[in-house]
Amino acid sequence: MTGFGDCQYEGFGFDVEFWRLRLYNLHRDQRKLSQAYFQEGVALMKNRIRAFLDDRLPLKGVEDHIKKPVPKYINWLFSLGSMAAFLLILQAVTGAFLAFYYSPSPDHAYNAVNYISKEVAFGGFVRGLHHWGASVMVIVVFLHLLRVVVYASYKPPRELTWVTGVLMLLIVLGFGFTGYLLPWDQKAYWATVVGVKIAGTAPVMGDFVAKVLRGGDEVGTVTLTRFYALHTIWLPWLAFGLVGIHLFFVRYYGSAGTHRNTPEDMRAGKPFYPDQLFEDAVAILILFVILAAMAIFVPVPLEELADPTDASYDPRPEWYFLFLFQLLKYFEGPLEVVGTFVIPTVGFILLLFLPFLDKRDRAALWKRPVALTVTCLSVALIVLLTVLGATSPRLEPAPEEPAATEQTAPSQDEAQEEAVFDFGLD
């Protein structure tokens, strides 16, 4: 007798291939039916969840809002805002990981940063993302504001959008200033000493602001603690709050696009979601790849442990404050306050109220001669001062005069502090 697999049962009226095909079709139909039941169940569950949320949240309005069309004429420069928002989130995430190992005290801060860079798994990479991300964020926010000026996107009704953006630039610079001290190396310490001393030259409130920042008469433990609190608590709350308000204005009034857009073109472009959002995602991905490469191949500098008694150190701020550092060299004595307070304050106020000062109709930058001249001169001056500040030699401290016999000689710390600051800031 032959086996079942040899299909020798035809003589008894049993067609093996027929039943094998029948069973196969039966299983296939059961799988299709099971998949249909599953898909129907998933769809039913989604509909119930959607109905539950729709009754309690304005999801339909949000969906319609993010699908609003952007202006017809728009380019990749309009992704700078999304890139800035991504960098802010990246700074918050990397900073949160660094905070696991950091200790804001002069006795442990330097060793903690050194440990993160050399011993913690991926610690050097995360610190590199945080460090270089801060510099790139300043560049991106500056370019974002410059793009708004070029296309006159601050014109009515977008004045408040511009105001919140300028305030965000101030907070970004505040992040840079407060975070600069945290490594507690030589560069961080002395640059902070210079920065606090500059803040102290402001009229009326200068001394009070300097003492609040220092937490005393000199940079020390309380200063580091306060800068850490500002950097990780106060400024992030302000930053994300301002970003939320800024994004609300951007979506409520819509993007201004380029100057070529007519009123009809403002509603004739592609939808923000998914078209414009996809372009923003591509720009963000390219930016992250560049940052990751910098974090891997460009080591984050860390100098020697801060030494408050080292009067020979050349204090220089981070590159985005070099223009102000260089500007101070041109104002000495009674004019010192002009470089430390008057020019920066007037420049910031003019920038903040630009939409209310520029009453001309919206047009290309080259058709606005005053705006073109002021913009080009401002950018050129900032770049020039930054380059000069980066390449200028250190000013030698003035020789100390011997104290008279009837007077009390200054302490060693006071003499060293005077030597460090003797470059036009007193």
Spatial distance between the Cα atoms of 167 and 172, rounded to a whole number of angstroms: 9
What local confidence, expressed as pLDDT, does residue 266 receive? 78
Do 118 and 186 fall into the same domain? yes
If one counts every other C-beta atom within 10 angstroms of the C-beta of residue 244, the result is 10
55 and 189 both lie in a single domain: no
- Please check whether residues 128 and 267 belong to one and the same domain: yes
Q: Which residues contact 276 (CB under 8 A, 6 or more apart)?
A: 70, 74, 78, 270
| Residues 269, 182 within the same domain | yes
Ranges under pLDDT 70 in the chain: 1-19, 22, 394-426
Q: Which pLDDT score, from 0 to 100, does residue 19 have?
A: 66
Note the pLDDT of residue 67: 79
pLDDT digits (tens, 9 = 90+) for 185-208: 999 999 999 899 889 888 888 899
In a domain, 253, yes or no: yes
**Stated length of the chain:** 426
What is the predicted pLDDT for the residue at 364? 75
Closest among 312, 316, 343 to 327, alpha carbons compared: 343
Q: Does any domain span residue 339?
A: no
Distances from the Cα of 211 to the Cαs of 105, 205, 226, 311, 341, in angstroms?
Answer: 18, 10, 11, 22, 17
Number of domains in the chain: 2
Q: Which of 298, 314, 330 is the last residue of a domain?
A: 314
Residue finishing a domain among 299, 314, 329: 314
Q: What is the pLDDT of residue 115?
A: 96
* Domain's final residue, options 314, 345, 374: 314
Comparing CA positions, the residue from 137, 169, 140, 164 lying closest to residue 246 is 164
Asked if the structure places residue 425 within a domain, the reply is no
pLDDT tens per residue, range 162-176: 999 999 999 999 999
188 and 299 inside one domain: yes
Per-residue confidence (pLDDT) for residue 325, from 0 to 100: 87
Q: Evaluate whether residue 151 is within a structural domain.
A: yes
Residue 201 · residue 337 · CB < 8 Å: yes
Query: Is residue 328 in a domain?
Result: no
50 with 197, same domain: the answer is no
> Same domain, yes or no, for 174 and 47?
no
For residues 41 and 142, membership in a common domain is answered with no
- Same domain, residue pair 123 and 52: no
Residue-range definition of the domain harbouring residue 45: 9-61
Residue at 128 is within a domain = yes
- In this structure, is residue 18 part of a structural domain? yes
